[in-house]
Amino acid sequence: MPSSSQVYRSTRSSQPEELSFEDVDFLSKWADLSFNELAFEILRLYINENEIPNADLKDLITRSYSTFRSSEVTPLKKLDDNLYILELFHGPTYAFKDVALQFVGNLFEYFLTRRNAQKDLTKQPRDIITVVGATSGDTGSAAIYGLRGKKDVSVFILYPTGRISPIQEEQMTTVEDENVHTLSVNGTFDDCQDIVKSNFGTTNILFLFLFQLQKQAKTTNKVRFVVPSGNFGDILAGYYAYRMGLPVDKLIIATNENDILDRFIKSGEYAKEQEVGVKATYSPAMDILISSNFERLLWYLIRDNVPEVNKSDEKAGQLLNDWMKQLKEQGKFKVPAEVIDAARQVFDSQRVDNDTTVQTIKQVYDKSADKYVIDPHTAVGVTTSYSFIAKDTEPIQYISLSTAHPAKFSEVVNKALDSFDGYSFDKDVLPAELKA
């Protein structure tokens, strides 16, 4: 499920399904496409027309993104001369995960409906899908809203008790559809993730939305994307887009105090902070000990850069598996110079603490003419963007991803903004749909 060309395997030990990177003349071919048109062109590169005809694919895209509150789906807001904010929170759950999971839910239903129509005719048992996921907040609610009410689909979401925001928990636990099940786990996000990983070794589906950004920014300068990163999913999609030809100067990882990714970029060592564990921060969706999608990047870096691997898919998987065993048994592993050097050609990073996160929310609100409010995850990205801008010696455009609506994190937003005269969370931030 869904079809023969859409099989998702681990990159460890065995040879993964081929993900080819097309030579796309992005700027001349796609510069003026709408979001839906762009989604169609990107998806058509990887989905055969025999599997989903053009009309059906366009309908899937239309239905998936008609649920968004912005006609642009992911609008771009200019924050400063060299800084744009890409707002990814206009979907049903006010979080970036909706961009992928609204489409995924409809895709599952499409293949199930087609397959079960044939099974009904021959009186065979119907196919069903059971989706099991672990969430640090946004993934769970987005998966639920993408799959709720879908026939022959059941979804089970695990989340860490007391480590997500009240709105995130409410969005997951108040859905009454019979196919939705939420489970609160006494532990951290990594504990939830370990439970899921013990049952499944499949990869997730990444929607390569980053292609639209160069078009919207309308710039001839170099472009860098700044991505608030915990589990490395969004920025991995950016890496795939980069390999497909998106003109990117750098992909910048913005982390909170759970900074395993920042420490890796700076040192070449991927190490869990065993004694400290997961730190509870103001940006809880990034509160992780291990970034589960990061190993997918490592597989490409190994295959393309380690001499003894010599571009062998299988050897890359075997070496990656050895590293993951070291991580599990010793809590860390060190990559060779050729791997970290290759990573640094594309990626950079920065760590942002809680106090700075609050200060950035305050400064953006104070300095923007329209009193713009950002959530704490976005603040981590904006802080990182301004830090890099301050060091630039040439004009470089930054596009920082805004991954969640600020209303989902009232405690931190109010901590930053309550001192401003005239500020009201209910009036200025909270959407009508989220009011009790």
What was the pLDDT predicted at 190?
46
Task: State pTM to two decimals.
Answer: 0.81
What was the pLDDT predicted at 11?
55
- Which of 26-35, 198-207, 236-245, 268-277 tops mean pLDDT? 268-277
Would you say 88 and 75 are in contact if contact means Cβ atoms under 8 Å apart?
Answer: no
Amino acid letter for position 359? Q
Tell me the two tokens of residue 9.
């395997």
Q: What percent of the chain has pLDDT over 70?
A: 79
Domain spans of the chain, in order of start:
26-74+95-197
Which residue has tokens 């019979």? 178
What was the pLDDT predicted at 148?
75
User: pLDDT (tens digit, 9 = 90+) per residue, 336-351?
Assistant: 999 999 999 999 999 9
Using the predicted structure, report yes or no on whether residue 261 has a pLDDT greater than 50.
yes
Reply yes or no on whether 119 is catalytic.
no
Provide the terminal-to-terminal Cα distance of the chain, rounded to the nearest Å: 39
Least confident of 33-37, 164-168, 409-413: 164-168
From the options 1.10.240.10, 3.20.80.10, 3.40.50.1100, 1.10.4030.10, give the CATH code of 26-74+95-197: 3.40.50.1100
User: pLDDT (tens digit, 9 = 90+) per residue, 1-54?
Assistant: 444 434 444 555 444 455 555 566 666 677 777 889 888 888 887 788 988 899
What was the pLDDT predicted at 18?
54
- Burial of 144-156, coded b for 16+ CB within 10 Å and e otherwise, reads bbbbbebebbebb
- Catalytic pick among 58, 77, 97, 367: 97
What does the H/E/C string look like for the chain? CCCCCCCCCCCCCCCCCCCCCCCCCHHHHHCCCCHHHHHHHHHHHHCCCCCCCHHHHHHHHHHHHCCCCCCCCCCEEEEECCEEEEECCCCCCCECCHHHHHHHHHHHHHHHHHHHHHHHHCCCCCCCEEEEEECCCHHHHHHHHHHCCCCCEEEEEEEECCCCCHHHHHHHHCCCCCCEEEEEECCCHHHHHHHHHCCCCCCCCCCCHHHHHHHHHCCCCEEEEEEECCCCHHHHHHHHHHHHCCCCCEEEEEECCCCHHHHHHHHCEEECCCCCCCCCCCCHHHCCCCCCCHHHHHHHHHHHHCCCCCCCHHHHHHHHHHHHHHHHHHCEEECCHHHHHHHHHHEEEEECCHHHHHHHHHHHHHHCCCCCCCCHHHHHHHHHHHHHHHHCCCCEEEEEEECECHHHHHHHHHHHHCCCCCCCHHHHCCCHHHCC
* Cis check: omega of the bond before 2, within 30 degrees of 0: yes
Using the predicted structure, report yes or no on whether residue 56 has a pLDDT greater than 80.
yes
What was the pLDDT predicted at 131?
74
| Whole-angstrom Cα Rg for the chain | 21
Mean pLDDT, all residues of the chain: 82
Using the predicted structure, report yes or no on whether residue 405 has a pLDDT greater than 90.
yes
Sheet with 250-255: strands ordered across: 76-80, 83-87, 396-402, 222-228, 250-255, 347-351
What was the pLDDT predicted at 21?
59
